[in-house]
Amino acid sequence: MQDQWWKHAVIYGVDVERFCDSDKDGVGDFAGLCAKLPYLSSLGFNCVWLLPFYPSTDRDNGYDITDYYRVAAKCGRLSEFQEFVHRAGEQGIRVVLDLVAQHTSSGHPWFQAARQGSHSAYRDYYVWSDQPPKPAPGQGTMFPGQEDSVWTFDDTARAYYYHRFYHFQPTLNHRNPRVLDELKRVANFWLSFGIAGFRVDAASHLVEDPLDPAGKGDAAHTVLRELYAHITRQKPDAMVLGEVDEDEGKLASFFDGEQLNMMFNFFLNNYLMLALATESALPIREALSRLPPAPENGQWANFLRNLDEADLERLDQQQRDRVLDLFAPQDKMRIYGRGIRRRLAPMLGGAARLKMAYSLLFALPGAPVVCYGDEIGMGEDLGADGRNSVRAPMQWTAGRNGGFSAAPKARLVQPMIDQGPFGLAQVNVAAQDGKPGSLLEHLRRLTVLRHQHLQVGQRDCHILECGPDTVLALGWRTPEQDILALHNLSGKPARAEVPLNGLGTDEAPQALLGQGTDAPRDGRLSVALEAHDFRWLCWMR
């Protein structure tokens, strides 16, 4: 029987370079990450997703890879990576890596060889054209304002090459069997170290054919099916988590149980942002009703923020404007015309609202994902370039460089946030560790609840009527216990009147999180909620 552990995963995203520096060179490394394993274990996350740590040209946070088989020297040695995976496993933490399969760096040896002419054995590893076709709608550059086209002319090759992302990230030709074999070898290599699976970067763009932009059909998904089959043959219980940011109508074509067993829920994330901005639960109810169900072997991966921009592409223009106006009122807070380059804590602007949002994340059907620093409410650095605004180094203490590194400031991989209300003196792990009521302790409590009550987050979640549009009511039934989660998205008090319809008993429920409440009357539970209040209530059978 396959261990579908990812259905109950609680995932913590880590950028190794920005987490903890052990050798005083200003860059985080695996020795530093190992040193912080007691902290990672204390958080309660049972899966750590590592962002790219491979050799790269450092132009896109490591996603411009020049060597798939090594650890970048600044991040340490392969043996230190192996030690981290081993020691994490001893503490019940699985490790998942980024599989950057859509593109390489233009500095990768494959691309450098491909440039040398049509006779090169690597020419067909990439997509070339003498007369590039016009991209189909929705297949233009991912970075408007920074890239003008998805085709760039190469003087050495005397041809155009395709890049869905930056011009220094040429797209691999996934219709070439040799490319697919290369990716399988990469997967084999890292699986041999005992990792638990992969996050497939830009998974939805692996199925595009730039030379036939209008092409459609199931055959386009062959590359994902072959990769998934290969990975799960090597490791039957591997997590294969896809980055698929598509319209709702396309999501099911990726989530059939044969290409990915987890998908990042960008669609729901857009409506979470809208719900938080409008203080209404209706967008969440709508999104949950429109989402295709996860396959029997699958699970959604839900998040509030990641380490890219908060992309609002799935909202219509009016909805997007409402979110941008509230959460990114200044131009410098926006990017690509559709996204926000801010962390969650400054966006939401208050401890009560922030705690409610995380409680909601952990209650939604799916596996919650939290990225480093968000568990303490770190802010952004709008002075950094592009998406690096949300990638400042981890703030461990109020001391020098926030405890991240003992290197001189000038050598840090990125400047610390050392000013303002989210500066390291105000926001750090040491200040919140063990402190009742802190955001850090709130997140720890949420991870405990998810491990204790495995039905929460599963797809048999019931959306219950409760009266005010500002309140979301979610319920789960099992033979042993029933759970009700209530979240008031409004900054004003609200009273939820929940027809239980068989959920719970006649007794007063136990409060798992938040305050308790009286017993239901005549099959209806009445709960007075304060502004941004939340409750997890439980009835034992």
What residues are labeled active site? 201, 243
- Alpha-carbon distance values, 283 to 279, 319, 346 (Å): 10, 10, 22
Neighbours of 149 (CB within 10 A): 14
CA distance 328 to 505: 45
CA distance 38 to 26: 22
CA distance 121 to 117: 9
Question: Among positive and negative, which fits the CA dihedral 536, 358, 441, 515?
Answer: negative
Give the residue among 285, 288, 223 at the shortest CA–CA distance from 254.
223
Give the residue among 122, 119, 106, 109 at the shortest CA–CA distance from 154.
106
Torsion of CA 291, 293, 295, 298, to 10 degrees: 70
191-204 CB burial, b ≥16 within 10 A, e <16: beeebbbbbbbbbb
Tokens coding 54? 């491979």
Tell me the three state secondary structure of residue 177. Answer: helix
Q: What pairs with residue 462 in β-bridges?
A: 475
Parallel, antiparallel, or unpaired for β 47-50 and 94-99? parallel
Q: Are 304 and 357 in contact (CB under 8 A)?
A: yes
Give the residue among 474, 324, 468, 307 at the shortest CA–CA distance from 392.
307
CA distance 261 to 242: 8
Q: How far is CA 342 from the centre of its chain?
A: 15
Tell me the three state secondary structure of residue 394. Answer: coil
- Alpha-carbon distance values, 369 to 128, 143, 273, 301, 396 (Å): 37, 25, 15, 7, 20
Give one word for 437, left, alpha or beta, with left for phi > 0 and alpha for psi -120 to 50: left
Per-residue DSSP letter, 172: B
Question: Among positive and negative, which fits the CA dihedral 493, 368, 43, 71?
Answer: negative
Tokens coding 345? 């804590």
Question: Among positive and negative, which fits the CA dihedral 133, 137, 138, 143?
Answer: positive
